[in-house]
Amino acid sequence: MENPGLYLSHIGFKGIWFGAAKDQIEQPKKYMKWIIENSYLKYMIASDGLLKESVEFMNEGSLKLKNLTEMNSRSSRADYIIYDEEAQADEDAYNAAVNILAGSELGLIVHISTPTKGSVFETNYNRLKRREIIHNEQFIFSRSWEDASWLRTKADWYEEQKKILPKWYFDQEHRALFTHALGAVFRNVVYDVYEKIKGKWVLKIPLVLDKRVVSGMDWNPVSGHWCVGGQWTENFYGFLVTHADKVAVGYSHELKEEAYLTIKEYAIHHKRLNMEDGGTNIPFVRWFKEWFDADRNKRNVHVMYEEWDSQGINKTNAVLEFLPVIIYVDKIRFPELAEQIENCRWKKDTDKLEIEKDQIDSPHAFDGFLHAGNKKMLNDQGFRRFDWYGN
């Protein structure tokens, strides 16, 4: 993969090859020297331009090999970046490195990695996959061991590894597939649901839907307050996500009437809204109730409140409720929610049934989705599909 970098550099662009760990630039150092010394590029190098970790051409184009650290990221400028084994990259260092391209007319990023779930690489993969669909262009190229001629000579070894290794690990390491060690929690998920026709979202799948809309509200003053929900199919074995909206941002004392009216829309007439309550959510619920009490036009507004325990038991039970259900969530229309549903996984190294939680980046859209499935709200609408396992 040095070829694209060396090609761009020899025609005048400045580039940086980042390795996620120090030992990951050892191989590129060897390959870079070998390629240059065995090609026409050796005639285009500036005097003393070929060093162990960099090369400079006579036209001032260059390629540098660096470890991906915040310090290296903030002290450089380039026209293109190549990330090697991006799945192992520190997220802060990666975010800092993106600014390297500021001011460049080329601004090209090449992402290279073994696929790993819940990584920076997967985030970029999903972003580029959506872009492929929207623009009808190819941005992603994957290669398994079977696609490489020098690896096919070791076919017997790979067949042996296929029998020895866990399927998820073999698929991840040798078949260029994103997998979970324990498998994704939700397996009955359809991600290709809508298509846009004349500016309107239209269902690709013929679904018979209950006319009532249920929503869940999850509060977060920094990343946003999310209202997520949809409609059940008439047999209650399927749930179609129809909205996943960040309705407001800010602490309770910062929220205005506009935010109240927006949230209220999710609870009028045939709509039902379930708000997260308790703990840090109390000020937001209090804020909503104050506006609601002063509202003279609150007929046919249906709101209920739900408090989850801090141990995660209620959330786990809410997840269990959806396991037998077919979830229809479109990746293009609702990218954040679809990614959070796909990345939901069981906690490892424990004898309890728990959902793994990201302490830094909590999936608030996903939590709102789970609140939309509360049995009490469903029973209020005549639904009898579930038994509730929570308190």
CATH number of the domain encompassing residue 258: 3.30.420.280
243 with 270, same domain? yes
Total tally of structural domains belonging to the chain = 3
Please report whether residue 179 resides in a domain. Answer: no
Please report whether residue 387 resides in a domain. Answer: no
**Better-scored residue on pLDDT, 106 or 375:** 106
92 with 126, same domain? yes
Residues with Cβ within 8 Å of residue 82, at least 6 apart in sequence: 1, 4, 5, 15, 16, 17, 18, 109, 110, 112
Q: What is the CATH number of the domain that holds 11?
A: 3.40.50.300
Q: How many CB atoms lie within 10 A of CB 209?
A: 17
Percent of the chain with pLDDT over 90: 47
The Cα 53–Cα 261 span in angstroms is 59
251 with 371, same domain? yes
Please report whether residue 272 resides in a domain. Answer: yes
- Find the helix packing angle between 282-294 and 257-264, rounded to 10°: 90
Q: Is the dihedral of CA 116, 29, 5, 20 positive or negative?
A: positive
- Whole-number pLDDT of residue 389: 33
Nearest-5° Cα angle at 223, 219 to 229: 50
240 with 156, same domain? no
131 with 155, same domain? no
110 with 26, same domain? yes
156-212 confidence digits (pLDDT tens): 999 999 888 878 788 888 998 887 655 568 878 999 999 999 989 999 999 999 888
113 with 213, same domain? no
Please report whether residue 297 resides in a domain. Answer: yes
Please report whether residue 307 resides in a domain. Answer: yes
76-107 confidence digits (pLDDT tens): 789 999 999 998 888 888 888 888 998 899 99
Please report whether residue 388 resides in a domain. Answer: no
209 with 347, same domain? yes
Range of the domain at 294: 189-380
200 with 328, same domain? yes
Q: How many CB atoms lie within 10 A of CB 334?
A: 24
236 with 376, same domain? yes
Lowest mean pLDDT among 58-62, 101-105, 331-335: 101-105
Please report whether residue 52 resides in a domain. Answer: yes
Please report whether residue 170 resides in a domain. Answer: yes
306 with 166, same domain? no
Whether the pLDDT of residue 381 is over 50: the answer is: no
212 with 252, same domain? yes
